Amino acid sequence: MSVIPFERRRRRSTNTFEAIKMQLEYILEQQGLKNFTLGDERGLLVAHAGRADDAHVLAAYAPVIANCHDKAAYYDVLDGVKSHVPEITAENVAFRTFEVEGHPLHLIIHGEAGRLAQSDVYRAVNGVKRILGESAQVAA
């Protein structure tokens, strides 16, 4: 009797950016979040789940937020974000920066206050790293 390994991912894509989008959409839907945005160090949108207009704004501000070294600067930049995405508050948004092959990426999560779980951030970061790692291996 042969055993077929269980594949937990039901939707897959060989397109790297589509795969990342699907990863973010899955977490967004599971956790009832409003937006999941992945941006690069230049402030350009790489992938997102949720409203595209909000995602472009969040990606553009992410490198600026990543360079905030105190709370006052963070809140000043967040006021700029709020001018474009009025429902954003310090309590309902989370920013994480991580690197893939030496390139910084910024993950921005917008949800309801109190619903932003570190496990969502962890799953998204690891999913993006896995997908980009797989695509780098294919390209090599």
The model carries a pTM of: 0.82
Q: What pLDDT does 11 receive?
A: 59
Q: What pLDDT does 13 receive?
A: 75
What is the DSSP annotation of 76-128? HHHHHHHTTSTT--TTSEEEEEEEETTEEEEEEEE--TT---HHHHHHHHHHH
Closest CA to 37 of 57, 18, 14: 57
Closest CA to 64 of 36, 97, 37: 97
Contact 107, 85 (CB under 8 A): no
- Please give the chain's pLDDT, 140 residues, in tens: 445 443 444 556 778 889 999 988 998 898 888 999 999 999 999 999 999 999 999 999 999 999 999 999 999 999 999 999 999 999 999 999 999 888 999 999 998 877 777 777 888 889 889 988 866 554 54
